[in-house]
Amino acid sequence: MKSLHRKKRGQGTVEYIIIVVLVAVAAIAVIGAFSDRIRVMFAGAATAMGSDDASDAIGESSVETMQNLNEDGIE
C-alpha cells in the first residue's frame, strides 16, 4: 500500500516539474520575441521620468546593444 502511495506522490511531482518547465520555456520564448519592444517601452518610461541615457537605447536592437556591451564593457 505504501508503494502505491509513493508512486502517486512521485507522479504528482513529475507533473508539477513538467508544468514549471513548460511555463519557463514559454516565458523565454515571449521575452525573446518581444525583447526589442519591451526595451523600447522601458526606455520610454525612463525617458518620461527624466533619464537622458534611455533615449539611446530606443534606436538600437537588442543584438546591437549586447554587441556594444561586449565591445565596450558595462559603463
Write out pLDDT tens, residues 27-74. Answer: 999 888 888 888 778 777 777 776 666 555 566 666 776 676 666 665
Q: Which of 41, 36, 29 is nearest to 64 (CA)?
A: 36
- Residue 16 to residue 44: CA distance in whole angstroms: 38
Q: Which of 8, 68, 26 is nearest to 56 (CA)?
A: 68
Position 61 scores a pLDDT of 67
